[in-house]
């Protein structure tokens, strides 16, 4: 396979030369990050999680639901430390409704988040 002539990184003002059209390593990551953030409404979500109202709903919920629900279903008792939205906020889940919350431990929550992230990459949410 012949090597093509070097082309510049497509990022404005970057002078890196690449063997194939696109972005240099550094900017590929940056562009990817910005794209993902815009799509997921990342900043809005982060603002929500820091809001006083959410903090108090979360604290009250975890007081009433001190055990990780996913671990409990498997027969073990792990303290729940995350008030997880069963229907994710980015999919229009109810933010403050206890019926849309479940207590999870950190590892169960990470597993769920990873699954959702992978799923939304495969199936971008439609405005339903
Ligand atoms: Zn670049
Ligand atoms: Zn758990």
* Residue 79 in domain: yes
* Residue 26 in domain: no
How many domains does the chain fold into? 1
Q: Which residues sit with Cβ closer than 5 angstroms to ligand 1, an ion?
A: 9, 11, 14, 16, 24, 27
As to burial, measured by CB atoms within 10 angstroms (0-12 exposed, 13-18 middle, 19+ buried), residue 105 is buried
* Residue 24 in domain: no
Nearest ligand (C-alpha, residue 28): 1
Q: Which residues contact 67 (CB under 8 A, 6 or more apart)?
A: 77, 78, 79, 80, 103
* Residue 110 in domain: yes
* Residue 11 in domain: no
Q: How far apart are CA 82 and CA 55, in angstroms?
A: 11
* Residue 29 in domain: no
* Residue 9 in domain: no
Element housing 32 (H / E): helix 25-40
90 Cα to the center of ligand 2, angstroms: 22
Q: In the structure encoding, which two tokens stand for residue 6, read together?
A: 């070097």
* Residue 71 in domain: yes
- Give me the half-sphere count of Cα atoms (radius 13 Å) on the Cβ side of residue 71: 18
Range of the domain at 100: 65-122
Going residue by residue through the chain (128 aa), what tens digit of pLDDT does each one get?
Answer: 555 678 999 988 899 999 888 999 989 988 877 766 666 655 677 788 889 999 999 999 999 999 999 999 999 999 999 999 999 888 889 999 999 999 999 999 999 988 877 776 766 655 54
Q: How far apart are CA 103 and CA 63, in angstroms?
A: 10
Place of tokens 């910005």: 34
């Amino acid at each position: 396979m012949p090597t093509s002539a070097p082309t510049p990184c497509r990022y404005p003002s970057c002078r890196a030369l690449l063997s194939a059209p696109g972005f240099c390593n550094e900017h590929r990551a940056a562009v990817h990050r910005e794209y993902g953030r815009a799509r997921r409404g990342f900043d809005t979500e982060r603002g929500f999680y820091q809001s006083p109202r959410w903090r108090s709903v979360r604290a009250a919920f975890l007081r009433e639901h001190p055990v990780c629900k996913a671990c409990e279903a498997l027969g073990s008792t792990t303290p729940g430390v995350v008030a997880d939205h069963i229907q994710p906020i980015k999919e229009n889940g109810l933010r403050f409704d206890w019926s849309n919350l479940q207590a999870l431990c950190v590892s169960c929550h990470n597993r769920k988040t990873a699954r959702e992230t992978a799923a939304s990459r495969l199936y971008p949410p439609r405005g339903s």
